[in-house]
Amino acid sequence: MLLLGLESSCDDTAAALVRQLPGQRALVLSSVVVGQTELHASFGGVVPEIAARAHAEKLDLCVEKALAEAALTLADVDGFAVTAGPGLIGGVLSGVMCAKGLSAATGKPLYGVNHLAGHALTPRLTDDVSYPYLMLLVSGGHCQFLLVHGPDRFERLGGTIDDAPGEAFDKVARLISLPQPGGPAIEQAAKAGDPKRFALPRPLLDRPDCDMSFSGLKTAVLRTRDKVIDEKGGLSVQDQADLAAGFQAAVTDVLAEKTRRALRKYLDHAPDVRTLCVAGGVAANKAIGRGLETVAADVDCAFIAPPLSLCTDNAAMIAFAAIEQSQLRAPDDLTLSARPRWPL
Ligand code: KG4
Ligand code: ZN
């Protein structure tokens, strides 16, 4: 089965070709991602209308490029997979319309895919991972523990009750005058910082469940920053580094401890093969990765972090999710609708 995938739910326009041969792991033949960071930079966040227009302009080009990179044509493709939600509705609509057009023009099947399912199934595209596995999805927009029982069966064990960690990294970077995206900037600055200089909270660790909160932590950084500025008249490079290191350590501690709790729940379901997987842009953070790896090792669990290009938003994960789900469900038809909200 060879599917062409499309993704346009946030600020990346993407197309990819993924082929699965019987009895083999699926292969990404091409994966094209066109970001929009510079279009939104002066607004301090993604502007939905600008994003939707950019997706509509770029989708065709991404499809052409994905086909060219794989040296294939539409005639070779068996069907189309598209993110049908959740996400910014204008962008999701652009993708769904494009996929419907391709399906109608070629007479080939169309699969609407949940974006979160795409992230959650990615480890099976890159590694030999069997169900059930535990997935920690941590990005700019999402933060949840999912017990993945099968291609269309996900059990949510907990998640953030306010900001996603990536969002918090971005906001904290702004607070301490580091560039966007905040995650990589904070990770870099933290290398020269002392994580213990400022006492920052570890929110919700007193609660036994797997829920998390990052908004209060961000406010604590704001207060600490203001105190330093009051005392010294400004932030030095060392102050920035220490705040970055302290914040990163707090996020790492929260994610690691809540992962420990989610793993305990998961182990009841997975007596033999145990795997902790992580996906989303925040998974790029080395300190967080090391924290999660240690927790997994403590309970004899394998730890899988797919390569960053497949961890962040991309269309290969959407094509692959449709391939996995095609064993269990019929394709969609041209009545497929775009869903801004679509819990797993
Ligand atoms: O998955 P992603 O590319 O997009 C969505 O949010 O859907 O994730 C982007 C987020 C941004 O908030 C960015 O700051 C964060 O991931 N991020 C990081 C790192 N690299 C990217 N956060 C912490 N450490 C990093 N190294
Ligand atoms: Zn995503």
Nearest CA to ligand 1 atom 2: 281
Class of the CATH domain delimited by 2-126+310-325: alpha beta
What confidence tens digit (pLDDT) does each residue in 105-122 have? 999 999 999 999 999 999
pTM for this predicted structure: 0.93
Q: Is 119 annotated as a binding residue?
A: yes
Q: What whole-number percentage of the chain has pLDDT above 70?
A: 100
Q: Is 183 annotated as a binding residue?
A: yes
What confidence tens digit (pLDDT) does each residue in 126-145 have? 999 999 999 999 998 899 99
How do the domains of the chain map onto residue ranges?
Answer: 2-126+310-325, 133-305
Under a CB-based contact definition with an 8 Å cutoff, are residues 319 and 17 in contact?
Answer: yes
pLDDT of residue 221: 98
Q: Is 114 annotated as a binding residue?
A: no
**CA 319 to each of CA 1, 63, 82, 110, 277: distance values in angstroms, whole numbers, following the listed order:** 10, 13, 7, 11, 19
Q: Which of 10, 115, 139 to mutate to test the pocket of ligand 1 (most atoms within 8 A of CB)?
A: 139
Q: Which of 13, 247, 282, 285 to mutate to test the pocket of ligand 1 (most atoms within 8 A of CB)?
A: 282
Mean pLDDT of the chain: 94
Q: Does the pLDDT of residue 21 top 80, yes or no? A: yes
Q: Does the pLDDT of residue 213 top 80, yes or no? A: yes
Q: Does the pLDDT of residue 146 top 90, yes or no? A: yes
What confidence tens digit (pLDDT) does each residue in 181-196 have? 899 999 999 999 999 9
Per-chain residues with Cβ under 5 A from ion ligand 2? 313
Q: Can you give the three-state secondary structure of the chain, one letter per residue? A: CEEEEEECCCCEEEEEEEECCCCCCCEEEEEEEEECHHHHHHHCCCCHHHHHHHHHHHHHHHHHHHHHHCCCCHHHCCEEEEEEECCCHHHHHHHHHHHHHHHHHHCCCEEEEEHHHHHHHHHHHHCCCCCCEEEEEECCCCEEEEEEEECCEEEEEEEECCCCHHHHHHHHHHHCCCCCCHHHHHHHHHCCCCCCCCCCCCCCCCCCCCCECCHHHHHHHHHHHHHHHHHHCCCCHHHHHHHHHHHHHHHHHHHHHHHHHHHHHHHCCCCCCCEEEEECHHHHCHHHHHHHHHHHHHCCCEEECCCHHHHCCCCHHHHHHHHHHCCCCCCECCCCCCCCCCCC
Q: Is 57 annotated as a binding residue?
A: no
Tell me which ligand sits closest to the C-alpha of residue 122: 2
- Ligand 1 pocket, 284 CB below 6 A? yes
Tell me which ligand sits closest to the C-alpha of residue 255: 1
pLDDT of residue 269: 78
Tell me which ligand sits closest to the C-alpha of residue 282: 1
Confirm whether the ipTM is greater than 0.90. yes
- Ligand 1 pocket, 9 CB below 6 A? no
Look up the CATH architecture of domain 133-305. 2-Layer Sandwich (3.30)
Nearest ligand 1 atom, CA 142 = 6
pLDDT of residue 279: 94
- Ligand 1 pocket, 187 CB below 6 A? yes
Q: Is 140 annotated as a binding residue?
A: yes
Beta bridge partners of 30: 17
